[in-house]
Structure 1
């Protein structure tokens, strides 16, 4: 009898200890997330209202606003003008009402508040970092508690308090090299997410974008990071490209031969057999990340080469194909009309048009990735980034099925 009481006491004490550290709620089995870029309101003319007009908001469970800065190891606003100062005209407003000069909250944040009011089930996260904004994470890793406190204070700013449901950490890359190199150690991301969880509480949504590259995954403790995150979003795109540089959550450099930049599986002639969605997911699971906390990423754009001498993947090229916002990259809504698919490789479409060759996902190839996520009981999928879709959100529609 005394032995049973002792066992019960141990269990009670263990449960009490667990209660000291806030834990994330169970991961959703059907996450459909999409990144909305801060800079999209400029040349791209992609505004919050586009999410309403295309009905994309009805298909999203989570919207990630990208990017806030990590400045001096602290969370900070990226572009104040775009985020909350830029007046929005009636024609571009979610509710058809223009911002006023005396209004405290304008810009995309003001529109996001209106969008959320009309769609109360939508969760909105503030994403920090990105390909060109990750240098500050090294300083953050030296004082995770200060970093987390700064993020909490920023989310609770009176001008937009209640708008954001949590934080997305887009560190490229912990203990590895992206645009800059980090040597914070394998536990750095885990420490940041643990501090965020302790600071924001168990009901906050805390996520992280993680590498698609298998070697970079092995440089960090992603199983440990997953303990404090609702999910980890694997950047399963940009495995190959004709030019180096930012494309969102990745910045690849690639071969002088054409290749599917976001293949689901390996195909004959692929330059690196581990450069696929399947390989990335397999590695994350092998590292101990629960399947329900893994999201796979889908790029809403293509990677292109020019001076190409063949229609199949692996053809020699002279360099990156021209794109509106950068060499070697173009939005899906442009490519699907200008250079429609001529084949598939490893579960991704490719297209040869004249001297150019592009690889990109289509509704059909996205359907296969959705089926893969379901088969492996993953947490869901996410899109980088929403402005690349068609006006009627055909890619997001396929992703949400």
Structure 2
């Protein structure tokens, strides 16, 4: 579930055969993150989305970051950031993310953090093994994905902003791209005040893969090779076919398959929103899209593996912590409210009353289970429950603890990577769904915080006659860094650090240490760099090899090389910000 309301689009897959063009910088290894390769084969992920608006709404338990059960999950996805009109990463709620006061908020001094991010910084120091990603997009805020991905220059603008963001907030472990959906051209919903639509076209198929390739490439060339890159992928095979999972999956650490919102009151027949298996009695159509047999968790998870050769352990199945519902259910059709004719949706406690979807939190569904008139049923084929009130003509489809356990068994027995939950703030008091999934997946052991490790791959590169840039790899449980420059310590810095105002031909030494709430690492080894002694800079030329740090002039301006490459026509410094930075 993404924000307030969701309408499914049944779109026929576009058959395209487009080769991915060669990208600057050569090949990127299909081994995306060496830290993940060393995981035990049976280690499972439990990814929970945390919506930044939960703090405002009692239906979301007025949840803030300090309420997340950090000891019961492996990954927290912060929802949502967006791609702004300048094609840069941006918060959808700067007050909640950066300014609101929470128990562990800092002050207003430079380097201190407030809002959700202040809490994240604190809890990452306590739970360094829990990965923290920022999810970009969602159902309502994907309006600029298509344009951003449409050219290498626009992609580079976005990617550069992501790299800067990850270096500014080193406790963030990566990003999750939630583009709903590449290849689908969807106008904004006039009944949803939050929805901005999501333009799309067949060119997204190639551009989506290029985006993933270039993000991974930028990670590797920016000292961020340990950062994570994941996506939220559709639960409908027809939308999957509008992309190239067999190509883009090599650049991803894992794929969160949204095996929910499959059915809802955007249709006039009641059904399960997240069936684990197909029900042979399902009245859904089989053409032009086979919803009856193929719109279920089992089919789509195996579809990624069998058709696109995505490794099973890269795929996480979705679990909805909320309901969908119908009203005006015709009791003369279907069976006990299932597969019955209906129209419209009841207003759930998560809904905008002007545009309802029958969306209740799991806590609200437990209350309804104990409300007179409601009867709970379970589908022996699909392994999920539904709730029906024949006198009110209301039917709800949802996840409960039994179906959540069955979903975990399915993941375990088929070798998939884990479970994603939308969203953690919708669980009931006592966290019954969270506890069920955490227990089934073997998560929940107490983590004792430790001092951070020594920063690795510290490098100093002179940029011209008056500046040295110092970079290092992020330390997973560090919240800040100190740098020693020629014997003097500067606190609370991040990579890259720019040492400016230097004399031409001068040599400077540097070392770095990591900081968190537990303590301080040892210093790294010293590195040094000497500023250039001459201001002579050659003009940019095609078919020329340029190393990182090389200065060139182009159209009267001076640029520094960011990634080693051999130049070619079309890669002029002013056209490719991923390769060159204006001085």
Same fold (TM over 0.5): yes
Q: Which moved more, 1:270-279 or 1:300-309?
A: 270-279
Match of 1:34?
A: 48
Picking from 294, 309, 316, the partner of 1:295 is 316
Residues 54-77 of structure 1 show CA distances to partners (whole Å, capped at 9, x for unaligned) of: xx2111111000111101322122
Q: In the aligned structure 1, how far is the partner of 2:247 from the partner of 2:230?
A: 13
After superposition, where does 1:1-400 map in structure 2 within 5 Å?
Answer: 23-25=32-34, 26=36, 29-43=43-57, 44=60, 45-51=62-68, 56-71=69-84, 72-88=86-102, 93=103, 100=107, 102=109, 104-141=112-149, 142-143=151-152, 144-157=155-168, 161-178=169-186, 179-183=197-201, 184-201=203-220, 202-242=225-265, 254-267=266-279, 268-271=281-284, 272-273=291-292, 274-285=294-305, 286-310=307-331, 311-326=336-351, 327-328=356-357, 329-339=359-369, 342-345=376-379, 346-353=382-389, 354-400=392-438
- Conserved? CA contact 2:82–2:92, under 8 Å: yes
| Equivalent residue pairs, number | 360
Corresponding residue for residue 578 of structure 2: none
TM (norm. structure 1) is 0.85
Runs of 5+ consecutive residues of structure 1 not aligned to the other structure = 1-16, 243-253
221-230 vs 171-180, greater mean Cα deviation: 171-180
Q: How far apart are 1:180 and its partner, in Å?
A: 2.5
Q: Tell me the alpha carbon deviations over residues 106-157 of structure 1, each in whole angstroms, 9 at most, x when there is no partner.
A: 1111111111122121110011111111121112212333321111111222
Encode CA deviations 1:11-53: one digit per residue, 9 max, x unaligned.
xxxxxx86778732346541111000111111241111211xx
Distance 1:134 1:156, change over 3 A: same
User: Which SS does the other structure have where 1:387 is aligned?
Assistant: helix
Cα distance in 2 for partners of 1:140, 1:239 equals 28
| Matched residue, 2:548 | none
Unaligned runs of 5+ in 2: 1-25, 187-196, 285-290, 441-583
Q: 1:178-221 deviations in whole A, cap 9, x for unaligned?
A: 54231133122221111111112331111000011110001100
Distance 1:349 1:123 in 2: 31
Q: 1:257·1:317 contact (CA, 8 Å) conserved in 2?
A: yes
The SS at the match of 2:101 is coil
Partners of 1:23 and 1:69 lie apart in 2 by 24
d(CA) in 2 for partners of 1:35, 1:68 = 12
Pick closer, same or farther for the CA change 1:66–1:314 going to 2, 3 Å. same
Relative distance call for 1:39 and 1:19 in structure 2 (3 A) is closer
CA distance in 1, matches of 2:29, 2:295: 41
- The question of whether the paired residues in 1 share the 8 Å contact of 2:386 and 2:398 is answered with yes
TM-score normalised by L of structure 2: 0.59
Q: Report deviation, 1:264.
A: 0.5
**Residues 240-295 of structure 1: CA deviation (Å, up to 9, x unaligned):** 111xxxxxxxxxxx321211111011111252221111121122112221111111
Q: CA deviation at 1:100?
A: 4.2
Say which SS state the counterpart of residue 200 (structure 2) adopts: coil
Preserved CA contact (<8 Å) 1:339 1:352:
no
Distance (whole Å) between structure 2 residues aligned to residue 358 and residue 20 of structure 1: 46
Whether contact under 8 Å (1:300, 1:386) holds in the other structure is yes
The separation in 2 between residues aligned to 1:296 and 1:368, in whole angstroms, is 12
User: Which entry has the higher C-alpha Rg, 1 or 2?
Assistant: 2
Q: Which structure dedicates a bigger proportion of its chain to helix?
A: 1
Post-superposition Cα deviations, 1:356-396, rounded to whole Å, max 9, x if no partner, equal: 11010111101111111111111111101111101322111
Secondary structure of 1:105's aligned partner: coil
Query: SS of the residue aligned with 1:169?
Result: strand
